[in-house]
Structure 1
């Protein structure tokens, strides 16, 4: 009888323990699980030159290093502009050489000949005037002839002065203003040519950061607007976990706090450290459903960087974080309010 009573007590104790365990699992609050996502740094490769996409040297999934060419844009308009600038440069250089070379020797010789002719004409006019004056004083010729001879002498003198000025200008060469203008024109065309050459060089786009080609937005033969990102490069070495956390849970996410996050895609855990916290916009605010019960709470963006590199980590993967059950109860109460 004693043995039978003992077995009954054991069975009753087992039933009580089982009921207690079931009750605890049923009414206990499970840990609050937050889900985040892996983000990675992306770089856009674009060109300052609009045109037609001539070549694409990469595909999605390719690895690139700094300096690798990724695409080339064809721009016939720039090549035509370069031809025009080369022609203008030739003209400006020729003008500059003509200005710097001074007046041609033939022009100087002509000016000197005209000056000598004016001197001879002045000498003849002076001699004629002196003879006419003597004859007029003797009454041999009329006074009218003397006046005509005097006028011809004055004209010869002014002609000699003008010829002397022309010869002086020819020997002096171009003015300094002309030299400055010719040099400025040469520098302008040279600058335009350098600018177009730089644009032609920029028609070939190169990777400015190493990483994986995550997207190619255009196909060969399509038109490329100026500055349009044709290729996107993702640096998987600069990946982080991003969570949207309600502010009543923000007490766990102080700067520098470390967490063990579950990564279902990799089937492992990795340690992450909080590196950045920022408030999201008003659209992410949790509103109280009943006035006077609860309060509006903001949502914050929390970034966590891995403490050590995680092999295989890629952008878009989900990450899970379990918080203590006390926070789960507070979260459920806020949702009920």
Structure 2
């Protein structure tokens, strides 16, 4: 009777001990088993920043965040009164230069030409009188009627009249022929410079209209309508959703299976763990600042981190993916 009672007590205790050992073994197996290692990256796209050369006030924003734009679309309009004032100044300078150029090409006025001609004719008449007077005095001198001094005076008057006539003729020819070639070239150069100033201001006016250089999606707009922006200040970012890739920071001991051109099987948590394939196109050391950890307690060397970029293979899934979504590689 006593032996039966002992067996009835020992056997359940033994079974309980076996159960505890089994539970501890199973729990230990799962707890001590190495955890699944994953590599996490994220979706990235090419972005370009839209800015203006001209400082001013945001007059109008013609797009909103998330909107699709095409190359050539007007994104925003900047109000720049200073540029408009400079355009008025440049146009006025151009008009003045054109007037000077026209004057140089046309030459003297008809009244000035006529006056120069009359002075030339007057000088010619003076030469005729001085020549006749000189001839008379010469005859009288030959006859011994007048002294040599009178002849010298008559000769001097004749020569002076001839010089005056030549000077008047030169003035007339200059008035008739117009400005010198160099003066005309200088006037033409002034016109070209004024036109260049107008073209420069026109380029600034064109910069007040911000145009999308490429198609994409407006990812972020910085200023609001009515705010002031400076030269080169960013106005908005445009994301090219067609140029999409995944970027990973990979420890170098995981790089053995990541070669250039290799296809990565990944899952995207935001898409209910949907599988998406990427192709490796870029591998680069991220630098010493990205060291992962020392593999030895003595710190003999560090495992470095590499940047890995992979372009999207499953193009049909591009519409579902968004920049910033996590991408998981399970080892």
From 265, 281, 284, give the equivalent of 1:278: 284
User: What is the match of residue 335 of structure 1?
Assistant: none
The residue number in structure 1 matching 2:114 is: 109
Query: In the TM superposition, what are the counterparts of 1:112-123 in structure 2 within 5 Å?
Result: 112-123=117-128
Question: Shift of the alpha carbon at 1:19?
Answer: 5.9
Q: Provide the C-alpha distance between the structure 1 equivalents of 2:193 and 2:125, rounded to a whole number of angstroms.
A: 49
C-alpha contact 2:295 2:303 (8 A) present in aligned 1:
no
2:86 to 70, 81, 87: 81
The separation in 2 between residues aligned to 1:289 and 1:22, in whole angstroms, is 29
2:313 corresponds to which of 303, 307, 320: 307
**Aligned pairs (5 A) from 1:5-44:** 21-44=26-49
C-alpha displacement at 1:304, in angstroms?
Answer: 1.9
- What is the CA-CA distance between 1:45 and the residue it aligns to? 1.1
Alignment correspondent of 1:327: none
Aligned partner of 2:6 in structure 1 is: none
Choose which of 253, 260, 264 in structure 2 pairs with 1:255: 260
Unaligned runs of 5+ in 1: 1-7, 324-337
Kindly state the Cα deviation for residue 143 of structure 1 after the two structures are TM-superposed. Answer: 4.6
- Are 1:231 and 2:198 matched, yes or no? no
Measured in 2, the distance between the counterparts of 1:217 and 1:306 equals 29
Matched, 1:67 2:72: yes
Q: 1:201 to 1:287 in 2, by over 3 A?
A: same
Describe the superposition over 1:296-333 as per-residue Cα deviations: whole angstroms up to 9, x where unpaired.
2221011122211323211111222211xxxxxxxxxx
- TM-superposed deviation, 1:291: 6.3
Q: Secondary structure at the match of 2:280?
A: strand
Mapped partners of 2:144, 2:214: distance in 1: 108
What is the TM-score with the length of structure 2 in the denominator?
0.86
Cα drift, residue 251 of structure 1: 0.9
Q: Contact 1:265/1:317 (CA < 8 Å) preserved in 2?
A: yes
Mapping 1:55-204, distance limit 5 Å? 55-204=60-209
Aligned counterparts of 2:216 and 2:173: Cα–Cα separation in 1: 72
**RMSD of aligned residue pairs (Cα, Å):** 2.4
> Aligned in 2, Cα 1:293/1:281: closer, same or farther, shift over 3 Å?
closer
Question: Equivalents in 1 of 2:151, 2:300: separation in Å?
Answer: 125
CA contact (8 A) 1:263 1:317 kept: yes
Identify the residue that residue 327 of structure 2 maps to in structure 1: 319
Task: Decide whether the 8 Å contact of 1:236 with 1:313 is kept in 2.
Answer: no
CA contact (8 A) 1:43 1:209 kept: no
Instruction: Give the total of aligned pairs.
Output: 313
1:3 maps to none
Q: TM-score, normalised by structure 1?
A: 0.84
- What's the CA shift for 1:249? 1.1
Within 2, Cα distance between the matches of 1:25 and 1:74? Answer: 68
